[in-house]
């Protein structure tokens, strides 16, 4: 099943990142993009999410220096764009994979493309990793650990459900019961022609 591969790679990326656990550490993809394309994309996707998780923690420091906060905000913006681009690369992979599938006359479209389901699965794996740490944190109260354990079990159930849903969607597409139609995100705020603030600076 595809979700089994995805979850394995997501856990690998998260654990690899936390060997050092620094947002500025060098990124090394464990998969060769020329021979293991989807594995490469999945690993990259989760690495981006893992770095951004730490960015989001850092920027919430109430005592953060404003200059550092602005610099960090720029990094978060770039990370969001990288995340979106990588999701769209994953959808391109699926579009190519299913390009010869002819949908049935009564085939329906899904509410989201396969890659955006994968996006949520990557983030779920991150939530599980961090909630698991909180459930085992020795310097936390017993009440805190129990509360986090309950949340962890819900997240694990959610991952199982989402994994099944993604696998079912891919099976439905392969069988012609659903069809893929991808709309690019067309984000406007990074585009100098579409963001009025950036456009004004060019004049």
**In the structure, what pLDDT confidence band is assigned to residue 146 with cuts at 50, 70 and 90?**
very high
Q: Is residue 33 part of a domain?
A: yes
Q: Is residue 101 part of a domain?
A: yes
Q: Is residue 200 part of a domain?
A: no
b (16+ CB within 10 A) / e for 91-128: bebbeeebeeeebeeeeeebeebbbbbbbebbbbbbbb
Q: Is residue 26 part of a domain?
A: yes
Q: Is residue 108 part of a domain?
A: yes
User: How far out from the chain centre does Cα 110 lie?
Assistant: 19
| Beta bridge partner(s), residue 179 | 109
Q: What is the pLDDT of residue 188?
A: 64
Q: What is the pLDDT of residue 203?
A: 63
pLDDT in tens, 126-141: 999 999 999 999 999 9
Q: What is the pLDDT of residue 127?
A: 98
pLDDT in tens, 73-82: 999 999 999 9
State yes or no: pLDDT of 116 exceeds 80.
yes
Per the CB < 8 A criterion, the answer to whether 169 and 114 are in contact is yes
pLDDT in tens, 59-96: 999 999 999 999 999 999 999 999 999 999 999 999 99
Q: Which residues contact 21 (CB under 8 A, 6 or more apart)?
A: 54
Query: What does the pLDDT average to over 42-71?
Result: 96
Q: What is the pTM of this model?
A: 0.90
* Dist. CA 95–CA 89, nearest whole Å: 10
Q: What is the pLDDT of residue 187?
A: 65
Q: Is residue 201 part of a domain?
A: no
Q: What is the pLDDT of residue 184?
A: 72
* Dist. CA 26–CA 38, nearest whole Å: 21
Q: Is residue 202 part of a domain?
A: no
Q: Is residue 45 part of a domain?
A: yes
Query: What does the pLDDT average to over 38-50?
Result: 97
Per the CB < 8 A criterion, the answer to whether 159 and 124 are in contact is yes
Q: Which two tokens stand for residue 173?
A: 């597409």
Count of the separate structural domains present in the chain: 1
| Beta bridge partner(s), residue 178 | 108
* Separation in Å, CA 147 to CA 53, 74, 127, 153: 21, 34, 14, 10
**In the structure, what pLDDT confidence band is assigned to residue 182 with cuts at 50, 70 and 90?**
confident
- Beta carbons within 10 angstroms of residue 182's beta carbon: 14
Domain of residue 100: give its range. 2-192
Q: What is the pLDDT of residue 181?
A: 85
């Amino acid at each position: 099943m595809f979700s089994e591969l995805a979850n394995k790679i997501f856990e690998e990326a998260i654990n690899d990142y936390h060997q050092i656990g620094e947002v500025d550490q060098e990124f090394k993809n464990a998969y060769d993009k020329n021979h293991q394309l989807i594995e490469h994309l999945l690993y990259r996707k989760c690495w981006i999410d893992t770095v951004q998780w730490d960015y989001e923690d850092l920027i919430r420091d109430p005592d953060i220096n404003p200059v550092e906060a602005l610099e960090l905000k720029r990094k978060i913006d770039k990370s969001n764009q990288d995340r979106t681009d990588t999701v769209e690369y994953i959808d391109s992979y699926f579009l190519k994979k299913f390009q010869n599938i002819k949908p049935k006359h009564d085939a329906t479209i899904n509410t989201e493309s396969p890659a955006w389901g994968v996006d949520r699965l990557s983030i779920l794996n991150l939530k599980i990793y961090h909630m698991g740490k909180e459930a085992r944190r020795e310097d936390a109260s017993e009440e805190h650990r129990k509360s986090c354990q309950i949340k962890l079990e819900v997240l694990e159930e959610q991952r199982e459900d989402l994994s099944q849903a993604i696998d079912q969607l891919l099976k439905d597409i392969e069988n012609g019961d659903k069809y893929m139609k991808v709309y690019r995100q067309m984000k406007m705020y990074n585009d100098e022609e579409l963001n009025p603030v950036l456009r004004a600076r060019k004049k």
